[in-house]
Structure 1
Amino acid sequence: MKSTINRRQFGQLLLGTAAVGLFATACGAEPGTSADGSTTLSFAWWGNDFLNAQTNEVTAAFEAENSTVTIHPRPGEWGSYWDKLATVTAGKDSPDVIQMDQKYIAEYGGRGALMDLSTLGVDTSKIDKEALATGQYSGKQYGFSTGQNALVVMANTAVFKEAGVELPDDLTWTWDDYTKLAATISGAGKGTLYGASYGNNESSLIIWLGQHGEQLYTADGELGFKEETAAKFWEQLKLQRDNGASPPASIQSEDSSASLENSLFGTNRLAMGWSWTNQLASLESATGSEVKMLRAPSLDGSAADNGMYFKPTMYWSVSSQSKNPEAAGKFVDYLLNNVDAGKILMTDRGIPTNSEVLAAITPALKPADTAVVKFLADIKPDINQAPPIPPVGASGIQEAIIRATTDVLFDRLTPEQAAAAFTTEAQAMLDSARK
């Protein structure tokens, strides 16, 4: 869900020029260090009931090993998390330890709201170096990845079987193959099945641009793509609609707001949907079917050129307002590197980037998680270097992509017009953040 705070308001909040609010907090001591030397850290994250219980379990385990430190939980929900985090940061009440998302790393780190984690003594010797780099901005380490993820095509094998169609060879398939296959499945379903969803989020566009040798952002925070390349992205989505490969615009619009259990994929009416690898277990649970992860199609039929990359599921960050940065760093080190913590967190925040932790939890993984670990290892030789972190001002880009897609599918804009409008809007977001 899009934050209701715009970029200028966000900057004002961090400067303390707007009203503030608070995360719901648990009863107990406020964060700080007491006269007896005990320390209380506040810890904010977003998640559902399952993740909340899991997170409370891992904080309790940390407290058991560190008797002088108490963790003050500040859980939230994605829909309101970012508004509340901005306001508490403005009010000098930022949580010590923050679960952070990639599109906000630059927003917070670039505005001085996060600590450089490289100064806190966290052990990074067993952390995947590329994963480590994804939390860096302007030469500082503002976040440690909680785990790796990849955007893939999820194939519902039950729908393929119902349509009488074989799974594709994802090492060699092209966008043409993808579209024709999806159209065949839709045709076999005669209105009851659809072949493929529209990959229309920020990561889908990044993959598309990567196949053309371009990127959404440059390392110095500028837009890194040609307008005509973006137009081809929306031409592909329009082609899927026109060929019956994907649902009509009205059905797509309804499906985009449906819960997983009530979605086309979740109700076994969609053969191929774009999703993150860590969602495999949820997809199989919803469908009651075996779901296969497939690499993205490419332009030339080569998996090495499909533009896929590893994305951090989320990050652990520390607020620059923390009065106990040493204790906060110790807690982050525990979450990142402790094997016992890894056995609690498992893969729900992505596949651990610490090789020792991953090895320790692998024997206890459920079949779906084992499949994800293997899949990520299989595709690693062909994975692109992770793209630059979204610059300050870019956190609204995904919503702009979705709006452009909606306009194309409802024939309000041509792909060329959508690309022009999107490029103008994206540039305005970046320019506004610099003012």
Structure 2
Amino acid sequence: MFLHGTSKVNEKNHLEIGGVDTVELAKQYGTPLYVYDVALIRERARSFRETFKRLNIAAQVAYASKAFSTIAMVQLAHEEGLSLDVVSGGELFTAIQAGFPVERIHFHGNNKSYEELDMAVKNNIGCIVVDNFYELSLLEQVCIENKTTMKILLRVTPGVEAHTHDYITTGQDDSKFGFGLENGQADQAVEQALHSEYLELLGIHSHIGSQIFETTGFLVAAGKMFGKLKDWKDRFGFAPKVLNLGGGFGIRYTEEDKPLPASKYVEAIIGEVKKHADDLSIDIPEIWIEPGRSIVGDAGTTIYSVGSRKEVPNIRQYIAIDGGMTDNIRPALYQAKYEAVLANRVEDPVEETVSIAGKCCESGDMLIWDLPLPKANSDDMLAVFCTGAYGYAMANNYNRIPRPAVVFVENGEAQLVVQRESYEDLVRLDIPLKSKIVD
């Protein structure tokens, strides 16, 4: 059993996180329940920032809020000196409501609407990462209407395929994201941006994928980007103030995963950028990165109540929990794997191997296959580790199941930061028919 951060087993044989008994949390707030280890989030954030500081490199570490965006989480990111990466009007609105410094907000996305860009410009956010020619023209129009300028990065696809799931690979040539480096699109976008009176081109951005366990992909991407920067320096006299190499740094979900420490990713990126900047005789650009999963992923644990049991003789034992693909769709979407324990009997001896089924009316709603556990009963609670990224963020109301509550724990105290949805919440936006439908 591998426990993350401040997690430990207390004298009651219960899982404890942040000095708080998760069984007591479940009794107070109900299940399913997302529990976040705030101390571990702080530790992960500082490990990125402090490496840049130690090596005396100008940088911004932007928390990729798509991993987990709530007002409390955005405020925590601010407390830790992070910048913020948002990818929608909703995430931007959340950041503004949280009081996050707008000058440290970076807005991503491949199909930003006029309304979203207008919100970003009116709030004078720090930077917009432009993804395509349509957006480049639309943003200029918005800036003209608002009589202002906007700092931008251009997102490029460097032709680097990360060793990850197809759905979370984004840096290859055939991608919905960014301007191609190899097909001339990036050259055209740079020239267009440089000629605009309303757009200030800070530099370029790439993101090669997610859940990456090595540094090679980042270094190859940097090399390809600097190859183009040399050309742009010669043709346009353009030298970037900012080079954004994205995120995607992996975490440990199961014992099969072997991520690097944050410092190793950062040190390798800095070394590569320094080398290429020296070769071009330009100042080292400010380096931006965008960790999301690697800041909150292993800080989150989901607590479930155990329900029904089904035995298929000589094949499998199923145990059902009171959540599933409504609070964690990743196993169904990505075939993601997780580890889990009984939160109320953590160190009891293993007696059986079971598969954990969700409660949705879908055969694919399976959370974990073949999990070794003590004999589980209907009064037990299951703790699934490393659900902090893309759990709450991708939660849904399939089968009209309310979304769970979220609790932050730190130094023996718990704080509710997202209330559990009620059945009343589920129908709050529904509008009844005005009259009876006639056949």
TMscore range, shorter length: under 0.3
**Rg (Cα) greater in structure:** 2
**Does 1 or 2 have the higher relative contact order (CA < 8 Å, sep 6+)?**
1
What TM-score comes out, normalization by structure 1 length?
0.25
Structure number with the higher helix fraction is 1
Structure number with the higher strand fraction is 2
